[in-house]
Amino acid sequence: MESVKPILEFKNTCVSYTKQTMAVKYVSAAIGRNTITAIMGPSGCGKSTLLRAVNLMHNLYQNIRVDGEILLNGENILSMEPIDVRRRVGMVFQRPAPFPTMSIYDNVLSGFALNGIKLSKGEKDATVERCLRSVALWDEVRDVLNKKGTFLSGGQQQRLCIARALAMKPDVLLMDEPTSALDPIATKHIEDLLVELQKEVTILIVTHNMGQAMRISSKSMFMYLGELVEYGDTGMMFSNPADERTKAYLTGKMG
Amino acid sequence: MNDKVYKALLLLTALFMPVICGGVVYALVTDAYDAFEHFGFFRFLTSSEWSYTQGAEKYGALPFITGTLMTTLLALIFCIPFSLPVALFVGEYFKGTRLAAVLGTVTDLLAGIPSIIYGLWGFYTLRPIIMALDISPQGSGVLTASLVLAIMIVPYAASLSAEFIKMVPNDLKEGAYSLGATRAEVVKSVIFPVAGSGIFSSYVLAIGRALGETMTVTMLIGNTNNIPDSITSTGNSMASIIANQFGEADDLRLSSLIAIGLVLFMITAVINMAGKMMIKRARI
Protein backbone atom coordinates (compact mmCIF):
# COMPACT_ATOMS: atom_id res chain seq x y z
CA MET A 1 0.00 0.00 0.00
CA GLU A 2 1.18 3.48 -0.77
CA SER A 3 1.95 5.88 1.99
CA VAL A 4 -0.08 8.62 0.27
CA LYS A 5 -3.83 8.44 0.57
CA PRO A 6 -5.30 6.82 -2.55
CA ILE A 7 -7.52 8.98 -4.74
CA LEU A 8 -9.72 6.09 -5.74
CA GLU A 9 -10.42 2.90 -3.86
CA PHE A 10 -12.46 -0.13 -4.81
CA LYS A 11 -13.79 -2.04 -1.82
CA ASN A 12 -15.47 -5.33 -2.63
CA THR A 13 -16.96 -3.77 -5.72
CA CYS A 14 -19.42 -6.03 -7.52
CA VAL A 15 -21.41 -5.38 -10.68
CA SER A 16 -24.20 -7.62 -11.88
CA TYR A 17 -26.30 -7.39 -15.04
CA THR A 18 -28.68 -10.13 -13.97
CA LYS A 19 -29.57 -11.58 -10.58
CA GLN A 20 -27.73 -14.83 -11.27
CA THR A 21 -24.44 -13.68 -12.74
CA MET A 22 -21.86 -11.18 -11.59
CA ALA A 23 -19.74 -9.42 -14.19
CA VAL A 24 -17.38 -7.97 -11.60
CA LYS A 25 -16.72 -9.91 -8.41
CA TYR A 26 -15.49 -8.37 -5.16
CA VAL A 27 -12.79 -6.17 -6.61
CA SER A 28 -10.66 -4.35 -4.06
CA ALA A 29 -7.83 -2.04 -5.08
CA ALA A 30 -6.44 1.37 -4.21
CA ILE A 31 -5.39 3.73 -6.99
CA GLY A 32 -2.71 6.31 -6.22
CA ARG A 33 -3.01 9.95 -7.23
CA ASN A 34 -1.43 10.99 -10.54
CA THR A 35 -0.74 7.49 -11.73
CA ILE A 36 -1.74 5.59 -14.83
CA THR A 37 -3.29 2.24 -14.04
CA ALA A 38 -3.90 -0.20 -16.86
CA ILE A 39 -6.76 -2.69 -16.61
CA MET A 40 -6.10 -5.76 -18.73
CA GLY A 41 -7.78 -9.05 -19.35
CA PRO A 42 -9.48 -11.10 -22.06
CA SER A 43 -12.77 -9.93 -23.61
CA GLY A 44 -15.70 -10.25 -21.27
CA CYS A 45 -13.56 -10.28 -18.13
CA GLY A 46 -15.38 -7.29 -16.71
CA LYS A 47 -12.73 -4.62 -17.14
CA SER A 48 -14.96 -2.14 -18.97
CA THR A 49 -17.76 -2.94 -16.56
CA LEU A 50 -15.52 -2.09 -13.63
CA LEU A 51 -14.39 1.12 -15.31
CA ARG A 52 -17.94 2.23 -16.04
CA ALA A 53 -18.88 1.69 -12.41
CA VAL A 54 -16.53 4.51 -11.41
CA ASN A 55 -18.52 7.27 -13.11
CA LEU A 56 -21.87 5.59 -12.41
CA MET A 57 -22.49 4.88 -16.11
CA HIS A 58 -24.41 1.81 -14.97
CA ASN A 59 -27.06 4.05 -13.42
CA LEU A 60 -28.22 4.87 -16.95
CA TYR A 61 -29.45 1.36 -17.48
CA GLN A 62 -32.06 -0.56 -15.61
CA ASN A 63 -31.28 -3.85 -13.90
CA ILE A 64 -27.55 -3.24 -13.49
CA ARG A 65 -26.55 -3.44 -9.83
CA VAL A 66 -23.34 -2.12 -8.34
CA ASP A 67 -22.51 -3.26 -4.82
CA GLY A 68 -19.66 -2.71 -2.40
CA GLU A 69 -17.94 0.65 -2.25
CA ILE A 70 -15.97 2.87 -4.60
CA LEU A 71 -14.30 5.69 -2.73
CA LEU A 72 -13.24 8.91 -4.43
CA ASN A 73 -11.10 10.89 -2.00
CA GLY A 74 -12.62 8.81 0.76
CA GLU A 75 -16.22 9.45 -0.25
CA ASN A 76 -18.39 6.61 -1.50
CA ILE A 77 -19.34 7.32 -5.11
CA LEU A 78 -22.21 4.86 -5.04
CA SER A 79 -24.16 7.05 -2.67
CA MET A 80 -23.42 10.29 -4.53
CA GLU A 81 -25.44 12.02 -7.22
CA PRO A 82 -24.36 10.65 -10.64
CA ILE A 83 -24.07 14.16 -12.03
CA ASP A 84 -21.66 15.26 -9.31
CA VAL A 85 -19.57 12.13 -9.75
CA ARG A 86 -19.38 12.50 -13.52
CA ARG A 87 -18.17 16.08 -13.27
CA ARG A 88 -15.24 14.86 -11.17
CA VAL A 89 -14.59 11.65 -13.11
CA GLY A 90 -14.18 12.14 -16.84
CA MET A 91 -14.46 9.43 -19.44
CA VAL A 92 -13.08 8.75 -22.89
CA PHE A 93 -14.69 6.02 -24.94
CA GLN A 94 -13.51 3.42 -27.38
CA ARG A 95 -14.76 5.17 -30.49
CA PRO A 96 -14.00 8.85 -30.82
CA ALA A 97 -17.39 10.57 -30.72
CA PRO A 98 -17.23 14.35 -30.71
CA PHE A 99 -20.69 15.91 -30.82
CA PRO A 100 -21.37 16.11 -34.58
CA THR A 101 -23.51 19.22 -34.43
CA MET A 102 -20.92 21.23 -32.49
CA SER A 103 -17.77 22.99 -33.65
CA ILE A 104 -14.35 21.99 -32.32
CA TYR A 105 -14.53 25.01 -30.01
CA ASP A 106 -17.96 24.09 -28.69
CA ASN A 107 -16.97 20.45 -28.28
CA VAL A 108 -14.22 21.41 -25.85
CA LEU A 109 -16.73 23.52 -23.92
CA SER A 110 -19.58 21.02 -24.19
CA GLY A 111 -19.20 19.94 -20.55
CA PHE A 112 -19.94 23.47 -19.40
CA ALA A 113 -22.85 23.88 -21.82
CA LEU A 114 -24.33 20.54 -20.78
CA ASN A 115 -24.14 21.54 -17.13
CA GLY A 116 -25.61 24.96 -17.76
CA ILE A 117 -22.41 26.71 -16.61
CA LYS A 118 -21.99 30.12 -18.22
CA LEU A 119 -18.48 31.30 -19.04
CA SER A 120 -17.31 34.67 -20.32
CA LYS A 121 -15.79 34.88 -23.80
CA GLY A 122 -12.35 35.25 -22.23
CA GLU A 123 -12.76 32.22 -19.99
CA LYS A 124 -14.04 30.21 -22.95
CA ASP A 125 -11.10 31.12 -25.17
CA ALA A 126 -8.66 30.38 -22.38
CA THR A 127 -10.24 27.01 -21.57
CA VAL A 128 -10.31 25.95 -25.20
CA GLU A 129 -6.67 26.88 -25.69
CA ARG A 130 -5.55 25.28 -22.43
CA CYS A 131 -7.35 22.01 -23.10
CA LEU A 132 -6.39 21.75 -26.74
CA ARG A 133 -2.78 22.50 -25.83
CA SER A 134 -2.76 19.80 -23.18
CA VAL A 135 -3.87 17.24 -25.75
CA ALA A 136 -1.37 18.64 -28.28
CA LEU A 137 -4.11 19.56 -30.71
CA TRP A 138 -3.95 23.35 -30.50
CA ASP A 139 -1.39 23.87 -33.23
CA GLU A 140 -3.28 21.59 -35.59
CA VAL A 141 -6.72 23.14 -35.15
CA ARG A 142 -6.23 26.72 -33.97
CA ASP A 143 -7.32 28.06 -37.37
CA VAL A 144 -10.32 25.78 -37.81
CA LEU A 145 -11.93 26.02 -34.38
CA ASN A 146 -15.29 26.78 -35.95
CA LYS A 147 -15.33 23.66 -38.08
CA LYS A 148 -17.31 20.67 -36.92
CA GLY A 149 -15.51 18.24 -34.63
CA THR A 150 -16.26 15.41 -37.01
CA PHE A 151 -14.12 17.16 -39.65
CA LEU A 152 -10.99 15.96 -37.84
CA SER A 153 -9.17 12.65 -38.30
CA GLY A 154 -9.91 9.76 -35.93
CA GLY A 155 -6.86 10.40 -33.76
CA GLN A 156 -7.59 14.12 -33.62
CA GLN A 157 -11.21 13.41 -32.73
CA GLN A 158 -10.11 11.21 -29.85
CA ARG A 159 -7.77 13.92 -28.61
CA LEU A 160 -10.67 16.34 -28.87
CA CYS A 161 -12.72 13.99 -26.70
CA ILE A 162 -9.90 13.90 -24.16
CA ALA A 163 -9.79 17.71 -24.22
CA ARG A 164 -13.54 17.77 -23.71
CA ALA A 165 -13.16 15.60 -20.62
CA LEU A 166 -10.18 17.59 -19.29
CA ALA A 167 -12.08 20.86 -19.61
CA MET A 168 -14.13 19.88 -16.56
CA LYS A 169 -10.88 19.49 -14.56
CA PRO A 170 -11.70 15.96 -13.39
CA ASP A 171 -9.78 14.23 -10.60
CA VAL A 172 -9.87 10.94 -12.44
CA LEU A 173 -9.99 10.16 -16.16
CA LEU A 174 -11.44 6.82 -17.24
CA MET A 175 -10.39 5.54 -20.64
CA ASP A 176 -12.08 2.58 -22.25
CA GLU A 177 -9.69 1.28 -24.91
CA PRO A 178 -9.18 4.80 -26.23
CA THR A 179 -6.81 3.80 -29.01
CA SER A 180 -8.39 0.61 -30.27
CA ALA A 181 -10.05 2.43 -33.18
CA LEU A 182 -6.90 4.36 -34.11
CA ASP A 183 -3.89 3.73 -36.31
CA PRO A 184 -0.41 3.21 -34.75
CA ILE A 185 0.71 6.83 -35.26
CA ALA A 186 -2.40 8.27 -33.65
CA THR A 187 -2.03 5.69 -30.89
CA LYS A 188 1.54 6.79 -30.23
CA HIS A 189 0.35 10.41 -30.01
CA ILE A 190 -2.26 9.53 -27.41
CA GLU A 191 0.14 7.40 -25.39
CA ASP A 192 2.70 10.21 -25.21
CA LEU A 193 -0.10 12.52 -24.24
CA LEU A 194 -1.32 10.32 -21.40
CA VAL A 195 2.14 10.09 -19.90
CA GLU A 196 2.19 13.89 -19.84
CA LEU A 197 -1.36 14.16 -18.53
CA GLN A 198 -0.81 12.07 -15.44
CA LYS A 199 0.72 15.17 -13.86
CA GLU A 200 -2.77 16.70 -13.88
CA VAL A 201 -5.09 13.76 -13.56
CA THR A 202 -5.22 10.18 -12.37
CA ILE A 203 -5.82 7.84 -15.29
CA LEU A 204 -7.50 4.47 -15.32
CA ILE A 205 -7.20 2.86 -18.75
CA VAL A 206 -8.72 -0.33 -20.07
CA THR A 207 -6.54 -1.77 -22.79
CA HIS A 208 -6.20 -4.88 -24.88
CA ASN A 209 -2.77 -3.83 -25.93
CA MET A 210 -0.14 -5.22 -23.58
CA GLY A 211 2.59 -3.14 -25.17
CA GLN A 212 0.55 -0.07 -24.41
CA ALA A 213 0.13 -1.05 -20.77
CA MET A 214 3.89 -1.56 -20.53
CA ARG A 215 4.71 1.74 -22.18
CA ILE A 216 2.46 4.04 -20.21
CA SER A 217 1.22 2.54 -16.96
CA SER A 218 2.94 2.33 -13.61
CA LYS A 219 0.38 -0.06 -12.16
CA SER A 220 -1.58 -2.82 -13.81
CA MET A 221 -4.64 -4.84 -13.00
CA PHE A 222 -5.28 -8.20 -14.55
CA MET A 223 -8.89 -9.31 -14.53
CA TYR A 224 -10.29 -12.69 -15.42
CA LEU A 225 -13.93 -13.81 -15.33
CA GLY A 226 -14.90 -10.79 -13.26
CA GLU A 227 -12.21 -11.23 -10.65
CA LEU A 228 -9.23 -9.03 -10.04
CA VAL A 229 -6.54 -11.67 -10.32
CA GLU A 230 -3.51 -9.52 -9.88
CA TYR A 231 -2.76 -5.87 -9.18
CA GLY A 232 0.70 -4.40 -8.87
CA ASP A 233 3.58 -2.59 -10.51
CA THR A 234 3.37 -2.98 -14.26
CA GLY A 235 7.04 -3.86 -14.69
CA MET A 236 6.80 -6.47 -11.99
CA MET A 237 3.65 -8.00 -13.42
CA PHE A 238 5.12 -8.35 -16.89
CA SER A 239 8.45 -9.75 -15.78
CA ASN A 240 7.27 -11.92 -12.97
CA PRO A 241 3.50 -12.47 -12.79
CA ALA A 242 2.35 -13.92 -9.49
CA ASP A 243 -0.64 -15.80 -10.86
CA GLU A 244 -0.65 -18.56 -13.45
CA ARG A 245 -3.62 -16.95 -15.25
CA THR A 246 -1.82 -13.64 -15.57
CA LYS A 247 1.18 -15.45 -16.95
CA ALA A 248 -0.93 -17.37 -19.45
CA TYR A 249 -2.54 -14.14 -20.66
CA LEU A 250 0.68 -12.16 -20.89
CA THR A 251 2.42 -14.91 -22.81
CA GLY A 252 -0.46 -15.18 -25.26
CA LYS A 253 -1.65 -18.59 -24.12
CA MET A 254 -5.00 -17.18 -23.14
CA GLY A 255 -7.23 -14.36 -24.33
CA MET B 1 -35.89 -18.37 -70.90
CA ASN B 2 -38.08 -18.63 -67.86
CA ASP B 3 -36.01 -15.94 -66.23
CA LYS B 4 -36.51 -13.61 -69.19
CA VAL B 5 -40.29 -13.97 -69.08
CA TYR B 6 -40.26 -13.33 -65.38
CA LYS B 7 -38.12 -10.24 -65.82
CA ALA B 8 -40.35 -8.89 -68.57
CA LEU B 9 -43.46 -9.41 -66.46
CA LEU B 10 -41.84 -7.67 -63.54
CA LEU B 11 -40.85 -4.74 -65.72
CA LEU B 12 -44.36 -4.52 -67.13
CA THR B 13 -46.02 -4.37 -63.72
CA ALA B 14 -43.40 -1.96 -62.43
CA LEU B 15 -44.04 0.33 -65.39
CA PHE B 16 -47.71 0.35 -64.51
CA MET B 17 -47.16 2.78 -61.63
CA PRO B 18 -45.50 5.59 -63.60
CA VAL B 19 -48.15 5.09 -66.30
CA ILE B 20 -50.96 5.59 -63.78
CA CYS B 21 -49.23 8.61 -62.28
CA GLY B 22 -48.70 10.07 -65.75
CA GLY B 23 -52.32 9.35 -66.61
CA VAL B 24 -53.60 11.20 -63.54
CA VAL B 25 -51.44 14.22 -64.29
CA TYR B 26 -52.50 14.17 -67.96
CA ALA B 27 -56.21 14.03 -67.05
CA LEU B 28 -55.83 16.81 -64.48
CA VAL B 29 -53.94 19.05 -66.88
CA THR B 30 -56.30 18.58 -69.83
CA ASP B 31 -59.41 19.06 -67.69
CA ALA B 32 -57.96 22.06 -65.86
CA TYR B 33 -56.83 23.66 -69.11
CA ASP B 34 -60.12 25.49 -69.67
CA ALA B 35 -59.94 27.27 -66.32
CA PHE B 36 -56.30 28.29 -66.72
CA GLU B 37 -56.97 29.49 -70.26
CA HIS B 38 -60.02 31.48 -69.23
CA PHE B 39 -58.59 33.17 -66.13
CA GLY B 40 -54.85 32.86 -66.65
CA PHE B 41 -52.70 30.63 -64.43
CA PHE B 42 -51.56 33.26 -61.93
CA ARG B 43 -54.84 35.21 -61.91
CA PHE B 44 -56.60 31.95 -61.10
CA LEU B 45 -54.27 31.35 -58.17
CA THR B 46 -54.51 34.90 -56.82
CA SER B 47 -58.18 35.69 -57.36
CA SER B 48 -60.49 35.33 -54.40
CA GLU B 49 -63.80 35.38 -56.20
CA TRP B 50 -65.91 32.29 -56.54
CA SER B 51 -69.22 33.10 -58.16
CA TYR B 52 -71.18 30.93 -60.50
CA THR B 53 -73.80 33.43 -61.71
CA GLN B 54 -74.66 32.47 -65.29
CA GLY B 55 -72.74 34.59 -67.76
CA ALA B 56 -70.56 36.25 -65.08
CA GLU B 57 -68.73 33.22 -63.78
CA LYS B 58 -65.60 34.01 -61.85
CA TYR B 59 -63.44 31.42 -60.18
CA GLY B 60 -60.27 31.93 -58.18
CA ALA B 61 -58.39 29.54 -55.94
CA LEU B 62 -56.98 31.94 -53.37
CA PRO B 63 -59.59 31.38 -50.60
CA PHE B 64 -59.03 27.64 -50.79
CA ILE B 65 -55.26 27.84 -51.00
CA THR B 66 -55.41 30.08 -47.93
CA GLY B 67 -57.81 27.69 -46.21
CA THR B 68 -55.55 24.73 -46.88
CA LEU B 69 -52.41 26.51 -45.75
CA MET B 70 -54.10 27.84 -42.62
CA THR B 71 -55.52 24.49 -41.53
CA THR B 72 -52.25 22.72 -42.29
CA LEU B 73 -50.09 25.24 -40.48
CA LEU B 74 -52.37 25.32 -37.44
CA ALA B 75 -52.58 21.53 -37.39
CA LEU B 76 -48.79 21.40 -37.43
CA ILE B 77 -48.56 23.85 -34.53
CA PHE B 78 -51.12 21.90 -32.49
CA CYS B 79 -49.51 18.60 -33.38
CA ILE B 80 -45.95 19.37 -32.22
CA PRO B 81 -46.60 19.56 -28.45
CA PHE B 82 -48.23 16.14 -28.59
CA SER B 83 -46.13 14.26 -31.11
CA LEU B 84 -42.71 15.34 -29.86
CA PRO B 85 -43.24 14.09 -26.29
CA VAL B 86 -44.63 10.82 -27.64
CA ALA B 87 -41.57 10.47 -29.87
CA LEU B 88 -39.25 11.16 -26.93
CA PHE B 89 -41.16 8.75 -24.73
CA VAL B 90 -41.00 5.92 -27.25
CA GLY B 91 -37.59 6.71 -28.73
CA GLU B 92 -35.59 7.70 -25.67
CA TYR B 93 -37.02 7.78 -22.17
CA PHE B 94 -38.83 4.44 -22.27
CA LYS B 95 -37.04 3.00 -25.28
CA GLY B 96 -37.40 -0.75 -25.51
CA THR B 97 -39.86 -1.05 -22.62
CA ARG B 98 -43.30 -2.60 -22.85
CA LEU B 99 -44.87 0.73 -21.96
CA ALA B 100 -43.22 2.34 -24.98
CA ALA B 101 -44.36 -0.52 -27.21
CA VAL B 102 -47.94 -0.09 -26.02
CA LEU B 103 -47.88 3.67 -26.46
CA GLY B 104 -46.28 3.29 -29.89
CA THR B 105 -48.89 0.81 -30.99
CA VAL B 106 -51.79 2.93 -29.74
CA THR B 107 -50.36 5.95 -31.50
CA ASP B 108 -50.01 3.98 -34.71
CA LEU B 109 -53.56 2.77 -34.25
CA LEU B 110 -54.74 6.37 -34.43
CA ALA B 111 -53.33 6.48 -37.94
CA GLY B 112 -55.65 3.67 -38.97
CA ILE B 113 -58.90 5.33 -37.90
CA PRO B 114 -60.91 6.32 -41.01
CA SER B 115 -61.08 10.06 -41.49
CA ILE B 116 -64.89 10.04 -41.54
CA ILE B 117 -64.76 8.88 -37.90
CA TYR B 118 -62.50 11.75 -36.96
CA GLY B 119 -64.95 13.98 -38.79
CA LEU B 120 -67.90 12.64 -36.84
CA TRP B 121 -66.05 13.00 -33.57
CA GLY B 122 -65.09 16.55 -34.47
CA PHE B 123 -68.61 17.42 -35.52
CA TYR B 124 -70.51 15.94 -32.59
CA THR B 125 -67.98 16.26 -29.78
CA LEU B 126 -65.46 18.98 -30.49
CA ARG B 127 -67.78 21.42 -32.28
CA PRO B 128 -70.23 21.70 -29.34
CA ILE B 129 -67.26 22.27 -27.03
CA ILE B 130 -65.99 25.08 -29.25
CA MET B 131 -69.48 26.60 -29.19
CA ALA B 132 -69.85 26.15 -25.45
CA LEU B 133 -66.52 27.86 -24.88
CA ASP B 134 -67.80 30.76 -26.99
CA ILE B 135 -64.80 30.52 -29.29
CA SER B 136 -66.98 30.74 -32.36
CA PRO B 137 -70.77 30.90 -32.69
CA GLN B 138 -71.15 28.20 -35.31
CA GLY B 139 -68.55 25.85 -33.87
CA SER B 140 -67.16 24.83 -37.21
CA GLY B 141 -64.33 26.65 -38.89
CA VAL B 142 -60.60 26.64 -39.53
CA LEU B 143 -59.76 26.12 -35.85
CA THR B 144 -62.04 23.13 -35.38
CA ALA B 145 -60.79 21.49 -38.55
CA SER B 146 -57.17 22.13 -37.58
CA LEU B 147 -57.55 20.63 -34.13
CA VAL B 148 -58.89 17.36 -35.50
CA LEU B 149 -56.34 17.42 -38.32
CA ALA B 150 -53.62 17.80 -35.71
CA ILE B 151 -54.76 14.64 -33.92
CA MET B 152 -54.77 12.84 -37.25
CA ILE B 153 -51.17 13.70 -38.10
CA VAL B 154 -49.72 13.07 -34.62
CA PRO B 155 -49.09 9.36 -35.33
CA TYR B 156 -47.17 10.11 -38.54
CA ALA B 157 -44.97 12.74 -36.96
CA ALA B 158 -44.50 10.82 -33.71
CA SER B 159 -43.59 7.38 -35.02
CA LEU B 160 -41.16 8.68 -37.62
CA SER B 161 -39.55 11.15 -35.18
CA ALA B 162 -39.19 8.34 -32.65
CA GLU B 163 -37.22 6.33 -35.23
CA PHE B 164 -34.77 9.19 -35.68
CA ILE B 165 -34.48 9.72 -31.94
CA LYS B 166 -33.72 6.02 -31.51
CA MET B 167 -30.99 6.28 -34.12
CA VAL B 168 -28.91 8.81 -32.16
CA PRO B 169 -25.72 6.86 -31.39
CA ASN B 170 -25.29 5.69 -27.81
CA ASP B 171 -21.67 6.89 -27.95
CA LEU B 172 -22.86 10.46 -28.14
CA LYS B 173 -25.41 10.13 -25.38
CA GLU B 174 -22.95 8.41 -23.04
CA GLY B 175 -20.36 11.03 -23.96
CA ALA B 176 -22.72 13.72 -22.78
CA TYR B 177 -23.70 11.85 -19.64
CA SER B 178 -20.04 11.30 -18.82
CA LEU B 179 -19.59 15.08 -18.75
CA GLY B 180 -22.25 15.36 -16.07
CA ALA B 181 -25.26 16.17 -18.21
CA THR B 182 -28.77 15.46 -16.98
CA ARG B 183 -31.18 13.60 -19.20
CA ALA B 184 -32.98 16.81 -20.13
CA GLU B 185 -29.67 18.35 -21.17
CA VAL B 186 -28.80 15.31 -23.25
CA VAL B 187 -32.16 15.59 -25.01
CA LYS B 188 -31.75 19.29 -25.63
CA SER B 189 -28.07 19.42 -26.57
CA VAL B 190 -27.44 16.04 -28.17
CA ILE B 191 -30.59 14.20 -29.22
CA PHE B 192 -32.51 17.09 -30.75
CA PRO B 193 -29.56 18.56 -32.67
CA VAL B 194 -28.42 15.15 -33.94
CA ALA B 195 -31.89 13.85 -34.82
CA GLY B 196 -33.05 17.34 -35.84
CA SER B 197 -33.04 16.94 -39.60
CA GLY B 198 -34.84 13.62 -39.30
CA ILE B 199 -37.45 15.04 -36.95
CA PHE B 200 -37.92 17.97 -39.30
CA SER B 201 -38.46 15.68 -42.25
CA SER B 202 -41.07 13.68 -40.35
CA TYR B 203 -43.01 16.90 -39.84
CA VAL B 204 -42.72 17.67 -43.52
CA LEU B 205 -44.32 14.30 -44.27
CA ALA B 206 -47.01 15.02 -41.67
CA ILE B 207 -47.72 18.29 -43.48
CA GLY B 208 -48.06 16.31 -46.69
CA ARG B 209 -50.78 14.28 -45.00
CA ALA B 210 -52.59 17.32 -43.63
CA LEU B 211 -52.60 19.18 -46.95
CA GLY B 212 -54.68 16.62 -48.78
CA GLU B 213 -56.93 15.47 -45.94
CA THR B 214 -60.46 15.90 -47.28
CA MET B 215 -63.26 14.29 -45.33
CA THR B 216 -62.53 15.64 -41.86
CA VAL B 217 -61.89 19.14 -43.13
CA THR B 218 -65.01 19.15 -45.27
CA MET B 219 -67.11 18.18 -42.28
CA LEU B 220 -65.62 20.78 -39.95
CA ILE B 221 -64.37 23.81 -41.81
CA GLY B 222 -67.79 25.37 -42.44
CA ASN B 223 -67.65 25.37 -46.23
CA THR B 224 -67.80 29.05 -47.09
CA ASN B 225 -65.99 30.35 -50.13
CA ASN B 226 -64.24 33.27 -48.52
CA ILE B 227 -60.71 33.86 -47.32
CA PRO B 228 -60.91 33.08 -43.57
CA ASP B 229 -60.26 36.37 -41.76
CA SER B 230 -59.36 34.72 -38.48
CA ILE B 231 -58.67 31.20 -37.27
CA THR B 232 -62.17 30.92 -35.84
CA SER B 233 -63.97 31.86 -39.03
CA THR B 234 -65.26 29.41 -41.58
CA GLY B 235 -63.75 28.73 -44.98
CA ASN B 236 -62.93 25.96 -47.37
CA SER B 237 -59.76 24.09 -48.14
CA MET B 238 -58.70 23.04 -51.63
CA ALA B 239 -59.80 19.50 -50.95
CA SER B 240 -63.07 20.47 -49.28
CA ILE B 241 -64.26 22.81 -52.06
CA ILE B 242 -63.76 20.01 -54.56
CA ALA B 243 -65.57 17.53 -52.33
CA ASN B 244 -68.41 19.99 -51.84
CA GLN B 245 -69.00 21.03 -55.41
CA PHE B 246 -67.78 18.40 -57.85
CA GLY B 247 -71.21 16.75 -58.08
CA GLU B 248 -73.10 19.80 -59.19
CA ALA B 249 -70.38 21.49 -61.24
CA ASP B 250 -69.93 21.43 -64.98
CA ASP B 251 -68.00 23.25 -67.70
CA LEU B 252 -65.91 26.10 -66.36
CA ARG B 253 -66.66 25.45 -62.70
CA LEU B 254 -65.70 21.79 -63.03
CA SER B 255 -62.55 22.77 -64.85
CA SER B 256 -61.76 25.25 -62.06
CA LEU B 257 -62.24 22.58 -59.43
CA ILE B 258 -59.94 20.26 -61.32
CA ALA B 259 -57.43 23.08 -61.62
CA ILE B 260 -57.52 23.41 -57.84
CA GLY B 261 -56.98 19.66 -57.66
CA LEU B 262 -53.96 19.97 -59.92
CA VAL B 263 -52.45 22.69 -57.74
CA LEU B 264 -53.08 20.62 -54.61
CA PHE B 265 -51.48 17.62 -56.29
CA MET B 266 -48.42 19.67 -57.17
CA ILE B 267 -48.06 21.10 -53.66
CA THR B 268 -48.37 17.71 -51.96
CA ALA B 269 -46.03 16.08 -54.48
CA VAL B 270 -43.36 18.70 -53.83
CA ILE B 271 -43.80 18.49 -50.05
CA ASN B 272 -43.68 14.69 -50.04
CA MET B 273 -40.66 14.55 -52.28
CA ALA B 274 -38.86 17.16 -50.19
CA GLY B 275 -39.69 15.20 -47.03
CA LYS B 276 -38.47 11.92 -48.48
CA MET B 277 -35.27 13.52 -49.72
CA MET B 278 -34.63 15.02 -46.30
CA ILE B 279 -35.19 11.63 -44.68
CA LYS B 280 -32.70 10.03 -47.02
CA ARG B 281 -30.14 12.66 -46.16
CA ALA B 282 -30.85 12.40 -42.42
CA ARG B 283 -30.28 8.64 -42.50
CA ILE B 284 -26.70 8.97 -43.70
Q: Which residue of A has its CA nearest to B179?
A: A111
How far is B271 from B158, CA to CA, in rounded Å?
Answer: 18
- Please give the pLDDT value at position A2: 45
| Chain A stretch 154-213, residues whose beta carbon is closer than 8 A to a beta carbon of chain B | 161, 164-165, 168
Residue A88 lies in a domain: yes
Average of per-residue pLDDT across A99-122: 94
Which one of A48, A107, A114 makes the best mutation probe of the B interface by having the most chain B beta carbons within 10 Å?
Answer: A114
Q: Chain A closest CA to B195's CA: distance in Å?
A: 10
Residue A128 lies in a domain: no
Query: pLDDT above 90 covers what percent of chain B?
Result: 81
Q: Which residue of A has its CA nearest to B169?
A: A97
Residue A130 lies in a domain: no
Residue A121 lies in a domain: no
Is pLDDT above 60 for A184?
yes
Residue A150 lies in a domain: no
Q: Which residue of B has its CA nearest to A163?
A: B179
Query: What is the CATH code of the structural domain delimited by B58-283?
Result: 1.10.3720.10
- State whether A97 and B193 contact (CB < 8 Å): no
- CATH number, domain containing residue A48: 3.40.50.300
Q: Chain B closest CA to A26's CA: distance in Å?
A: 24
Cβ atoms of residues A9 and A75 within 8 Å: no
Per-residue model confidence as pLDDT tens digits over A236-252 = 999 999 999 999 999 88
Query: pLDDT above 70 covers what percent of chain B?
Result: 99
pTM for the whole structure: 0.85
- Number of domains within chain A: 1
Residue range(s) defining the domain that contains residue A221: 8-98+175-250
- State whether B185 and A86 contact (CB < 8 Å): no
Average of per-residue pLDDT across B96-112: 90
Is pLDDT above 80 for A114?
yes
Where do the structural domains in chain B lie, given as residue ranges? 58-283
| The 3-state secondary structure of chain B, one letter per residue | CHHHHHHHHHHHHHHHHHHHHHHHHHHHHHHHHHHHHHHCHHHHHHCCCEECCCCCCEECCHHHHHHHHHHHHHHHHHHHHHHHHHHHHHHHHCCCCHHHHHHHHHHHHHHHCCHHHHHHHHHHHHHHHHHHCCCCCCCCCHHHHHHHHHHHHHHHHHHHHHHHHHCCCHHHHHHHHHCCCCHHHHHHHHHHHHHHHHHHHHHHHHHHHHHHCCHHHHHHCECCCCCCCCCCCCECCHHHHHHHHCCCCCHHHHHHHHHHHHHHHHHHHHHHHHHHHHHHHHHC
User: Mean of the per-residue pLDDT values for chain B?
Assistant: 92
Is pLDDT above 90 for A19?
no
Average of per-residue pLDDT across A73-84: 93
Please report which confidence band the pLDDT of residue B250 belongs to, taking 50, 70 and 90 as the band edges: confident
Give the residue with greater pLDDT, B278 vs B153. Answer: B153
Residue A29 lies in a domain: yes
Please report which confidence band the pLDDT of residue A1 belongs to, taking 50, 70 and 90 as the band edges: very low
- Please give the pLDDT value at position A255: 64
Residue A168 lies in a domain: no
Average of per-residue pLDDT across B61-77: 95
Is pLDDT above 50 for B129?
yes
